Structure 1
Amino acid sequence: MTTETAQFTVIRADATPAPSLPAFGQFIGGKFVPSSSSETVDVVNPATEEVLTQVPAGTAEDVDAAVAAAVAAKDAWAATTPRDRAAVLLKIADIIEANRELFETLEAANTGKPPAVAEDDISSAIDTFRFSAGAARAYSTLGADDYAENHTSVIHREPVGVVGVITPWNYPLLMAAWKIAPVLGAGNTLVLKPSEQTPLTTLKLAELIAGEVPAGVINIVTGPGRVVGNRLSEHPHVDLVAITGSVGSGQKVAAAAAGSVKRVHLELGGKAPVVIFADADLEAAAKGVRSAGFWNGGQECGAACRVLVHESVADKFTELLVKEISEITVGTPGADDAEIGSMISKAHYERVLEALEDIRKDGHTIAVGGRAIEGPGYFIEPTVVTNVPAQAPITSNEIFGPVVSVETFSTDDEAVTRANETIYGLAASVWTKDSARSLTVPRKLDFGTVWVNSHLVIATEMPWGGFKGSGYGRDLSSYALDDFSRTKHVMYNRG
């Protein structure tokens, strides 16, 4: 059964501030320089379908120049003290804070985010830099001591060298911050490739901090992944590659990196199960899914997109969830009441609509939403799909849009088994009032983050990363600085 009448309209802001566009060029060696190619990529506002600007379609030669700049800068940057590096990270945070409105406006224009999401992105980016500044000064490691007779051992934490970074389109500045802050805090230099669809806030950051970071420490090359990303991944002078992206993109990066036996740091996709037991607070769970399933339009790898609810309360929960989702407001950047905005691009908009058509063909019930919203921009209605059987394609395919599915289970063991039946292992949540269950079930779930009675609550001090197909490596927390460091053991013979 499908919904045949439009249930949602787009709240369109009367006027929004014009975004402050960054300088044109590749950011290499502390300044913007021309690309080696004259080709460009259009950067589009997905809420209006208007072209905002163009950025260079970078080449392998651009990557080589950026890596050379990072190599030239790495020894001097690695020799700085944690205190000195922390001071730079704090200054970056202050610059973002001082230009908060500029970044929020630019991010919203490039991604279609509503004000609340854009504001949260910028606030979280600021917090990431400030946390990493402190973490850079507080490494903990095995104490120096004699672990063999007459030999004293010392552990050194060293930077890995030059880090290649590939960031996604769903949180452009925030994902750049998640990588830049710990990479620099650990003493590395970097070359970053933002998504060619959403490079503007990353380039603007480079423009504003150029005078505060030594030349060559941060370099940014725009362009397609098949060219820029691949060259970064295979480059012999890049010591580690870190990517936030799809499973397919992560596989390509790892394969290209294998040739030079470099380390990789993969934060990939997700299909987060929300396991709701019979004793759960159903109203709280429904509100939680409304927030965590549709935040950023569901374009979120940890989104609460797959509900497993106990069969005895499934009807009641579904009723509550449909009511919640029916009340979601959709709007353009600058529309203060909007909860969700547009899809990121025409291509992604069409992918989500194709997934919805497949859901119809599979015979599932679309209880609310399920359609494109008429008018300019790539808007799709918030959607709830019900009566989903076990192992249906929607339970395992990452749609990455405003779509949540609901399926049922009968026993605790079945809930755990079904939740784990996915290639992904990024995030999950458990909803229950039973204290014993709240302790035992999370330990059985094969996911890097498990929330109990909440979902998608992120703390900068805590690690973020997955298992299985969701990759390996950890963002946020002091574990991120560990990931961008290497361990050296020096042993002194005192005999």
Structure 2
Amino acid sequence: MSTSVSSSAQIRRSRTLDKLITAEDLAPGGHFIDGAFRAGNSGAVTDVVDPCNGEPITSVADGTVEEVDAGVAAAVAAKRQWGSLVPKERSEILHRIADRLSEHSELLARIESANTGKPFMVSEDDVAGTIDTFRFMAGALRATTSLAAGTYAAEHLSLILREPLGVVGVVTPWNYPLLMGAWKIAPILAAGNTLVLKPSEQTPLTTLKFAELVADILPPGVFNVVTGRGSIVGARLSDHPDVDMIALTGSVNSGRAVARGAAESLKRVHLELGGKAPVVIFPDADLAAAAKSLRAAGYWNSGQECGAACRVLVHNSVADRFTELLVREVNTLKVGEPGAGPEIEIGPLTSKGHFDRVVGYLERARRDGIRAAAGGAALEGPGYFVAPTVLVSVPDGAECSREEIFGPVITIETFETEEEAIARANDVPFGLAASVWTEDARRSHDVASRIDAGTVWVNSHLVLANEVPWGGFKGSGYGRDLSIYALDDYSRTKHVMHNRGR
């Protein structure tokens, strides 16, 4: 039994009659294959639940192996024509997609908030990021670069070609259904590939709406969606012999399963997995700025964010002052249902299973003597709400500071020396993101270079841009989202050498 708290974090509820979406707002609940929706063959469905109250919104089809095969067959049939388009033609289509999404941005944000519980400020940011992802890739695909053609062996001219891979299988997560979908869809299409996408069975609604909105823009078979469970749909995409690459954003366990499934056919694998981002705060840091930044970076999307600023390592000489500042910031966060108003900053966790998991971490931390300076438990009432939490007196090696809680929880540890801080920052299985807080420019360069993470911010955290890559090391996976590096991931290079001797 979880313990609930009534604290400064009170839940703001929508008025009973307020509805974020209606049935008419939603796309059909079947699969999107070869340019059209079709009902599931098995008749089995999964309920999609509103995390604010635990009540069903709608249901979607549980996909079968045969339906994955149909989606892959459609993608295979479409890949030659799509891949043969010149960059200008694919670019114009991606711009049309961005335009269409922009026309329906308010609707997409409402669907995302209804399905995930995201506050509007989060879902609106997701939609804006989705649109910008397509616009960036529409431009980037027209400006790819590689080694210049030249004579690198006597009397032989070398040309480097960039080619599509073919068909890409995609598995997207429940925490950012639309945005993480776009991070995959846009570069995959830009590089000339076709794809079959499996959204999370918990949060598929914006992905299906996306398919409906772009159905008249993309040729049939270029983009396909098969809903259902990872153990069936994801597994079949991983081991399908006609899928050339599998790309997943998700948990470490999901990444392992996908990589194992891909091994037999030796297809490429792209994995963006979990994180446990250390935030290293030195004595000379601007503590107020750090606390204000972590108010957002630690709790954005209710902490369901793989790059969240969730693990603070602060020098012991300033730890008390920083903790006081952070707790003060956290206690001002506004918790509630998205329909309660635009000022809501923290929504519920996305599912009952994940809610139970996060509460379990908090209960075990309390039993281990770790104190909650803010929050620390579930909030009273229906829905999957957890109070924004700051855990203090966290010893080195504690479960809550090493494992990815993936909720609105920041842990605070202290350190004595720079070497200790770097060693402990790296002493987790993950390597996705980190931040360093100091006014010493030389220290910031040196420490950032020694932290084993794919992104290291200096005096900020969780600032993203489409022009720069996102991805991790170690247990956080491999491959890069965003930027021209994503286009590289979804392309293959071919060397053609001509003997021009006479």
TM-score normalised by the chain length of structure 2: 0.97
Contact 1:3 1:369 in 2 (8 A): no
Given candidates 239, 242, 263, the residue that maps to 1:237 is 242
1:174 to partner: Cα distance: 0.3
Given candidates 228, 232, 255, the residue that maps to 2:233 is 228
Rounded Cα–Cα distance in structure 2 between residues aligned with 1:287 and 1:91: 38
Q: Secondary structure at the match of 2:329?
A: helix
Match of 2:10 in 1: 9
Contact 1:73 1:189 in 2 (8 A): yes
Match of 1:276 in 2: 281
Q: Gapped runs of 5+ residues in structure 1? A: none
Q: Secondary structure at the match of 2:379?
A: coil
1:480 and 2:483 aligned: no
Map Cα deviations across residues 24-58 of structure 1 (whole Å, 9 max, x no partner).
Answer: 31100000012221000000110122211010000
Given candidates 345, 360, 366, the residue that maps to 1:360 is 366
Amino acid at match of 1:366: A
Amino acid at match of 1:443: S
Q: Secondary structure at the match of 1:41?
A: strand
Rounded Cα–Cα distance in structure 1 between residues aligned with 2:99 and 2:206: 16
Rounded Cα–Cα distance in structure 1 between residues aligned with 2:106 and 2:6: 38
**Structure-2 change in CA distance of 1:241 and 1:3 (3 Å):** closer
Amino acid at match of 1:461: E
1:441 to partner: Cα distance: 0.6
Rounded Cα–Cα distance in structure 2 between residues aligned with 1:172 and 1:3: 29
Q: Secondary structure at the match of 1:53?
A: strand
Contact 2:6 2:380 in 1 (8 A): no
Amino acid at match of 1:202: T
Equivalent pairs counted in the alignment come to 494
1:322 to partner: Cα distance: 0.8
1:5 to partner: Cα distance: 4.9
1:317 to partner: Cα distance: 0.4
Q: Secondary structure at the match of 1:370?
A: coil
Match of 2:384 in 1: 378
Contact 2:20 2:114 in 1 (8 A): no
Alignment of 1:155-304 (within 5 A): 155-304=160-309
1:494 and 2:500 aligned: yes
Match of 1:451 in 2: 457
Match of 2:316 in 1: 311
Rounded Cα–Cα distance in structure 2 between residues aligned with 1:454 and 1:350: 31
Rounded Cα–Cα distance in structure 1 between residues aligned with 2:21 and 2:135: 29
Q: Secondary structure at the match of 2:93?
A: helix
1:126 to partner: Cα distance: 0.2
Amino acid at match of 1:150: E
Amino acid at match of 2:478: Y
Alignment of 1:315-394 (within 5 A): 315-334=320-339, 335-394=341-400
Match of 1:412 in 2: 418
Supply the RMSD in Å over aligned alpha carbons: 1.1
Map Cα deviations across residues 400-438 of structure 1 (whole Å, 9 max, x no partner).
Answer: 000100000011111100100011000000001111111
Given candidates 433, 450, 465, the residue that maps to 2:439 is 433
Amino acid at match of 2:21: A
Given candidates 88, 97, 108, the residue that maps to 2:113 is 108
TM-score normalised by the chain length of structure 1: 0.99
Contact 2:51 2:383 in 1 (8 A): yes
Contact 2:164 2:491 in 1 (8 A): yes
1:3 to partner: Cα distance: 9.8
**Structure-2 change in CA distance of 1:81 and 1:298 (3 Å):** same
Given candidates 460, 468, 477, the residue that maps to 1:471 is 477
Match of 1:93 in 2: 98
Rounded Cα–Cα distance in structure 2 between residues aligned with 1:315 and 1:18: 45
Structure 1 segments of 4+ aligned residues over 4 angstroms from their partners = 2-5
Alignment of 1:145-160 (within 5 A): 145-160=150-165
Identity of aligned residues (%): 61
Rounded Cα–Cα distance in structure 1 between residues aligned with 2:140 and 2:92: 12
Q: Gapped runs of 5+ residues in structure 2? A: none
Given candidates 112, 119, 129, the residue that maps to 2:124 is 119
Contact 2:279 2:434 in 1 (8 A): yes
